[in-house]
A = this chain, B = another copy of it.
Amino acid sequence: MATPPNTRRPDELTLEVVELIGDIVARYHEDYESAAAEHSLTGAQARLLSLLSLEPLPMRKLAQKLKCEPSNVTGIVDRLESRGLVERRPDPADRRVKLAAATQEGRRVAKNLRESLRFAREPLAGLGREERLALRGLLQRMLRQPES
């Protein structure tokens, strides 16, 4: 390798990049929360609804994807259900399981939410196609690293 990665202690450049990523994370979050707020959703509700807009999921699976306790999911689904964006269905294969599914209205809101995510356009607007390709490659390699 040209430059053996120093795994002992992060060098100056690495720290700089980590800080930049922190800024990106902060910016992304701000954006996500305010997009959710525009639809009278909290961040957690928006994330859950986005997941369900793809496919119905059991509560347990939702908790795994959101990385929280199942008991927490109950409340979030309750609030979305009371607004008619989500519904609970029985799982025909296992009567213990309840499948949470987005309603038609829920899918509509999720779609609007996706489209109002400004982060999709603004920060990337300054990058040309080649740069986006390069960025994609770098990010993919970062994510390929071991999980925990």
A69, chain B: closest CB distance, angstroms: 14
* A138:B142 contact, CB within 8 angstroms: no
Say if the beta carbon of A23 comes within 8 Å of chain B: yes
Given A135-B17, A141-B126, do A7 and B120 touch, yes or no (CB 8 Å)?
no
Q: Which B-chain residue is minimally distant from A122 (CB atoms)? A: B145
Say if the beta carbon of A143 comes within 8 Å of chain B: yes
Q: How many copies does the complex hold?
A: 2
Say if the beta carbon of A44 comes within 8 Å of chain B: no
- Within 119-145 of A, Cβ neighbours of B (below 8 Å) are at 119-136, 138-145
Binds B, one of A24-32, A76-84, A89-97: A24-32
Chain B residues with CB under 8 Å of A127's CB are: 5, 138, 141-142
Q: Is the interface of A mostly helix, strand, loop or mixed?
A: helix
Q: For the complex, what is the distance from the CA of A18 to the CA of B117, rounded to whole Å?
A: 10
* B131:A15 contact, CB within 8 angstroms: no
A17, chain B: closest CB distance, angstroms: 5
* A136:B15 contact, CB within 8 angstroms: no
Interface residues of A (CB under 8 A from B): 1-3, 5, 7, 10, 13-18, 20-25, 27-30, 67, 117, 119-136, 138-146
